[in-house]
Amino acid sequence: MSKKPNIKITVLLVLSVSLIVTAVTTYLLTVYYHHVCFHILGGFCESIIKNNPGSQQAVLELLKTQDFHVTDENILSNFGYYPSDLGITDTTAIWIAVSVFLAGGILFLFTFCYLHRKPDARIQALTEYLERINTGVQGLVFESSNDEFSKLQDEMYKTVTELYQTRKEALIAQNNYAENLSNIAHQLKTPITSISLTIQMAKEYLGNTLTAETPQRHTSMACKMYANIKDIEWQINRLLHLEEALLLLSRIDAGTLIFDRKPADVFTILSLASDNLYELSMHKGVLVDVPEMGEININVDLNWTMEAVMNLMKNCMEAAGTGTAVHCSYEKNPLYVQIRIWDKGDGFAKEDLPHLFKRFYRGKNAKNTGTGIGLSLSKSIIEMQNGIIRAFNLPDGGACFEIRFYIS
């Protein structure tokens, strides 16, 4: 059963007090008015008797019989007399009226301020409660109250409690996911190492076979086996890269990846990333254009940020055609430092754009290279350093990655 809000009780109380004050004031003014009339009549009779001593008996008999009454037309006004002409200047009633008016006004202002102050205070308390929750303070409980905000307060507390529970469950699931990724990555090490050793031994044996004097048929078979072994080595390298990526993802999810954030020049980061991709650049026939646009520093971990930029450059190299270039630019404004990396290829497929930064996602035009983790890693590394990243197609063709590191 819901209780009436305190504000309604307060309004009723104020109205009741106002009515009582009005009634008492009216009674007092009426008594005072009779008192004044009595004194005026007494003074008038005294003046008549004093000026005409013989009229005393007639005046007293008239008072006893009360044979006088008020008419619509006052006889004094017929002779040109008015209350002010007779010296009736008692201002007590006026002062009482003014005092009552002021008291009523003060009471009204007090009530108005009180009724508005209380909701404002409650709203401020609820706002501060949410602010403390958002800053990570836990275990905050409101004192029980009974007003128009009680239901809102209860619902807020229920919502916050559910969010805490959901967050706790999400953290547990995230830690489990990170642990599973780490376990899978470590489990991959043993078979990969074993296969690598076997391949190495097979390569040595085939090498000796190819150098020895053997029949032509055996030599041909050895060459085919050697080519197959090279393919296996390439696949093993992909597995090793996947293992490293899984270990890195597990560290990111577990929150154990530590960044050594220091001021780093954007041109230096782009140049180092380009230099590390030199062999791939020559193999693809794609140049990386990093213009010198002045010294602009960002507060990041140089190595990890360079790793993130390399993944973006590699993605553009895969999309750009032979004989073209991957372009870079950067600029600074009062809010953030912006870096752009783009190519002149066909751009992203429309259906791929919403999913580019999801883990293990591979677009419909993706080639048989990579594991679909690079862009996701880049996004995580950038966002963990107070940055954001987005991908879009340029109006004149080509894919573009835009990074913004906000100035803190």
Which amino acid appears at position 46 of this protein? E
**Cβ atoms of 192 and 236 closer than 8 Å:** yes
Q: At which residue do the structure tokens 């430092």 appear? A: 337
Residue 130 structure tokens: 């949410």
pLDDT in tens, 228-266: 777 777 777 777 777 777 777 777 777 777 889 999 999
Q: If you average pLDDT over residues 198-206, what whole number do you get?
A: 74
Distance CA 267, CA 296 (A): 8
Average pLDDT over residues 216-229: 65
Q: How far is CA 154 from CA 2, 109, 138, 146, 157, in A?
A: 13, 32, 17, 11, 5
CA separation for the pair 32, 38 (Å, rounded)? 10
Most confident of 112-116, 281-285, 340-344: 340-344
Q: How confident is the model at residue 4 (pLDDT cuts 50, 70, 90)?
A: very low
Residue 66 backbone zone (phi > 0: left; psi -120 to 50: alpha; other: beta)? left
Are residues 331 and 337 in contact, defined by beta-carbon separation less than 8 angstroms?
A: yes
Q: Read off the pLDDT of residues 129-177 as tens digits, 9 standing for 90 and up.
A: 777 777 766 655 656 666 677 777 778 778 888 887 887 887 777 777 6
Average pLDDT over residues 71-76: 62
State the CB neighbour count (10 A cutoff) for residue 338.
16
Contact residues for 36 (Cβ-Cβ < 8 A; gap 6+): 90, 93
Mean pLDDT value across residues 301-330: 91
Q: Per-residue pLDDT averaged across 396-407, rounded?
A: 93
Is 177 in contact with 253 (CB distance < 8 Å)? yes
Full-model pTM:
0.54
C-alpha to C-alpha distances, 374 to 95, 196, 236, nearest whole angstrom: 87, 24, 18
As given in the structure block, the two tokens for residue 143 are 């004192």
